[in-house]
Structure 1
Amino acid sequence: MSIFDIIAVLIFFSGVFLFINTFYLKLPSSIGLTILALILSLVVFVFGQLFPEYHLAEHVKSYDFSDVLYRFVLSVMLFAGALNVDFRKLGDQLIPVLVLSFFGVLISTVVIATLIYYTAGFIGVSLSYIASLVFGALISATDPVAITKSIQRFRLSNELETKISGEALLNGGIAIVLALVLVNIYRESEAVGAISFSGTLWVLFRDLGSGLIVGLIFGWIGYKLLKYIDNDDVEVEVLVTLALVMGGSYIADLFSASSMLVAVTTGLILGNFGRNEEGESAVGGYVYRFWQLMEDTLAAMLFVLIGFEMLVIPLRLDYFALGFFAVNFALFGRWISVFVPIKMMSRKRSFENSTIPVLSWGSLRGGLPVAVSLSLTDLPGQELIVTMTYVVVVCTVLYQGLTLTKVMQVYRANT
């Protein structure tokens, strides 16, 4: 079985599970897919125990998904998410959304990493602080697809819905870029033996500075090309955007820049300069629909991958124990990362009473953290990070997702 066979299996089950969930379970897609993927993994696990020669886990373990996840899945999902960010629609909520997205991720990363690092030491699990920071950053990424589709079922105020959807779209990109920059800082420290403050600044400048420059260049080139192409030539516009994403990733690697930041920056430029108030200008409406479809499809595949992940993670009690601690730390870190910025901004801005609980509890994790954790093949402690990510994503999707209705009912009662 080749890696393409594995991908074909993921696509097949994604389609089957989406059909079952849409017409029978009728749950939010993230919850329904996670439940079905877990059931599938249990069936495969039992079948593998009965017939070891056909155990799918051996095939899954034998392939390195890092290149596929890093070079394609993450770039596509981050570009698609950034393309959907329209700063004009945010209006007067732009500043709160930017503050919550940027500073919220930083606060959440540090809080989660610190708690994980000391808890790991307490229970006797070896995990460096830089690896804890990487986990704190990647697990801070919320799933905009799951969150947006969940809040659409409730009649929230326009102000709160704008905050939730806007923050969710930016949060994932910032968190993933931060996680991968931290990985590069670790690699630099390993290459030179130890990394100084100036060395850290150099990595940040190299990854973020050059990534921003390359992203701006690709975004400007893409905007000019799409402005020249007629919107009726949908196949040309789609291919141009695909070339921008894939080419940007390749060029970023040549300059040791952050390819994820390139994807995010390019998407933000096209998503804002490429459309007018009616929704499309240089970029045709079909392009936005295409990338929305790509994001939804890959998100579904990653939720199925969460189920298969159960087959490859080490079955160690201490790893799972730390994972369940991480569930609570992730919730606490998210609450702090929302509470602190909102309390600081409350001096000059008004916020609804339920903003903090709704933003905190509505922070469903999705496939992005899973994809990042599986791509960290050369980071010490990767198996532990993968295990903790698996536990946090599953628990938050099921527990928070299934209880989100209760939180929203409390919100309505207070408004």
Structure 2
Amino acid sequence: MTVFEITAAILTLTAVGGYLNQKYLQFPATIGMMAFSFLISLIALLLDKMGWMDLSVASAFVGQIDFSEVLLHGMLSFLLFAGALHINFDDLNNVKWPVAVLATFGVVASTFITGTLVWWGADLVGLRLHYLYALLFGALISPTDPIAVLSILREAGISKRLYVKIGAESLFNDGIGVVVFLTILGLATGAQELEFSTVALLLVREAFGGAVLGLLLGWITYRLLRSIDSYKVEVLLTLALATGGYVIADLLHVSGPIYIVTAGLVVGNHGRNFGMSELTRTRLDDFWELLDEILNGVLFILIGLEVIVITITKQHILLGGMAIAAVLSGRIVSVGAPISFVSPRQFLDWRMIGLLTWGGLRGGLSIAMALALPAGPEKSIILPITYIVVLFSILVQGLTFQSSLKFLVK
């Protein structure tokens, strides 16, 4: 199939899924899309098992889609930029320390806790998983996915402070998580030496370099926005910032996600408030909101379809269940410890810890990183358990998040 035919098929599925969800299910949009495509995939697998359908055509279609490339070097820049545009600096400043600690030490702590528990679990179910690869799973599953989190938070009706705390943490821990993942991947494949100075230098270069590049290009774009009054050109400038800047970040080997979040914050605050007319601001918001909704729908349709090409055995299901428990355990500790350190008064605030734990959804980014692993026995274990955790996170945590607010919010 051609690229246009694949795109047309995915957009058609997205439109049909969006209509059915809006008309009958009325789930949050991302959950409805994923549930729709996952149900289609399950029906196709069942019909193939019964001999009533040849799944080879559907498998070939899904196999042609490089999910990891499409997300990590395509959709991610747009989705993160759209999310960062609406995080206010003043609101972020009020929760800067909890967000900073959760997005750094929290991600690292969760990586080791989750990875270690999954390593033990793999041994229990008879699967051989090297400890570094278990940590690699911990790294790719620990960051909460801003794409999933922000879209559900917008429909949850929570306070602005909670929205900023959960949303900003998910935006920043996403970038840190990718850096930790790449570092451990380099160690696991032998591309990096296990030396503190080497690992520290890589982390600083990726994270700090991405932030500096985002500030620089975001400021330049802000100055350009301020010098004209044409909403069409100004929207194009923000598109260039999200796409061209992301390419530059890749070429400079700095963190693209951290770059795009930083650039989005600069434009979303200085650009929108001081560099645009009211008309431009309205049109820009409408454009990025629509693009965000469309790409979110496409992304979660793709996640649901991926089950067709992922081999899942009984051992994977058992380990996947253990991985769900490990991820939630790692999240509780990695959230609870930093909160008690930064805000001692919240040490016993089980509601806040519970909210950040249950609201910490995993999504397409984790699957994309799992798909980016080099082929081998480790990938055949990590990929299916990642998919199981993501399914649970979106379909169970996501669906129950709003109803849990009555118990978790004072």
Task: Flag whether TM exceeds 0.5 (same fold).
Answer: yes
User: Residue 226 of structure 2 contacts residue 274 of structure 2 at CA under 8 Å; is this kept in 1?
Assistant: no
C-alpha displacement at 1:46, in angstroms? 3.7
Q: Alpha-carbon deviations, 1:114-153, whole Å to 9, x = none?
A: 2122322343323333333332232223244544454556
**Structure 1 residues 312 and 174 mapped into 2: Cα distance closer, same or farther (>3 Å)?**
same
Between the aligned residues of both structures, percent identity stands at: 37
Instruction: Structure 1 unaligned segments of length 5 or more: list them.
Output: none
Aligned residue type for 1:25:
L
Partners of 1:55 and 1:243 in 2: CA distance: 37
User: Residue 80 of structure 2 contacts residue 146 of structure 2 at CA under 8 Å; is this kept in 1?
Assistant: no
Which secondary structure state, in structure 2, belongs to the residue aligned with residue 275 of structure 1?
helix
Partners of 1:406 and 1:105 in 2: CA distance: 26
C-alpha displacement at 1:348, in angstroms? 6.0
Aligned residue type for 2:293:
D
Scaled by the length of structure 1, what TM-score is found?
0.86
Scaled by the length of structure 2, what TM-score is found?
0.87
Of residues 63, 80, 93, the one that matches 2:95 is: 93
Alignment of 1:86-165 (within 5 A): 86-144=88-146, 146-148=148-150, 150-151=152-153, 156-165=158-167
**What residue number does 1:7 align with?**
7
**What residue number does 2:206 align with?**
207
User: Residue 338 of structure 1 contacts residue 360 of structure 1 at CA under 8 Å; is this kept in 2?
Assistant: yes
Alignment of 1:247-396 (within 5 A): 247-276=244-273, 284-347=281-344, 354-377=351-374, 381-396=378-393
Which secondary structure state, in structure 2, belongs to the residue aligned with residue 16 of structure 1?
helix
**Structure 1 residues 155 and 315 mapped into 2: Cα distance closer, same or farther (>3 Å)?**
closer
Matched, 1:69 2:71: yes
Partners of 1:149 and 1:296 in 2: CA distance: 8
User: Residue 226 of structure 2 contacts residue 275 of structure 2 at CA under 8 Å; is this kept in 1?
Assistant: no
Which secondary structure state, in structure 1, belongs to the residue aligned with residue 308 of structure 2?
coil
Partners of 1:136 and 1:341 in 2: CA distance: 18
**Structure 1 residues 273 and 177 mapped into 2: Cα distance closer, same or farther (>3 Å)?**
farther
C-alpha displacement at 1:184, in angstroms? 4.6
Matched, 1:37 2:37: yes
Partners of 2:55 and 2:394 in 1: CA distance: 33
Which secondary structure state, in structure 2, belongs to the residue aligned with residue 327 of structure 1?
helix
C-alpha displacement at 1:31, in angstroms? 2.6
Partners of 2:185 and 2:356 in 1: CA distance: 28
**Structure 1 residues 371 and 301 mapped into 2: Cα distance closer, same or farther (>3 Å)?**
farther
**What residue number does 1:216 align with?**
215
Matched, 1:228 2:227: yes
Instruction: Structure 2 unaligned segments of length 5 or more: list them.
Output: none
Partners of 1:283 and 1:138 in 2: CA distance: 38
Q: Alpha-carbon deviations, 1:64-113, whole Å to 9, x = none?
A: 44432321122222232233322213352333233333332222222112
C-alpha displacement at 1:396, in angstroms? 1.8
Partners of 1:43 and 1:223 in 2: CA distance: 49
**Structure 1 residues 85 and 364 mapped into 2: Cα distance closer, same or farther (>3 Å)?**
same
**What residue number does 1:410 align with?**
407
Greater Cα offset, 198-207 or 301-310: 198-207
C-alpha displacement at 1:298, in angstroms? 1.9
**Structure 1 residues 373 and 282 mapped into 2: Cα distance closer, same or farther (>3 Å)?**
farther
User: Residue 68 of structure 2 contacts residue 367 of structure 2 at CA under 8 Å; is this kept in 1?
Assistant: no
Aligned residue type for 1:203:
L
User: Residue 143 of structure 1 contacts residue 168 of structure 1 at CA under 8 Å; is this kept in 2?
Assistant: yes
User: Residue 317 of structure 2 contacts residue 388 of structure 2 at CA under 8 Å; is this kept in 1?
Assistant: yes
C-alpha displacement at 1:63, in angstroms? 4.8
**Structure 1 residues 208 and 235 mapped into 2: Cα distance closer, same or farther (>3 Å)?**
same
**Structure 1 residues 280 and 84 mapped into 2: Cα distance closer, same or farther (>3 Å)?**
farther
C-alpha displacement at 1:183, in angstroms? 3.3
**What residue number does 1:198 align with?**
197
Greater Cα offset, 194-203 or 304-313: 194-203
Partners of 2:129 and 2:198 in 1: CA distance: 22
Q: Alpha-carbon deviations, 1:292-318, whole Å to 9, x = none?
A: 332332222121112211111113222
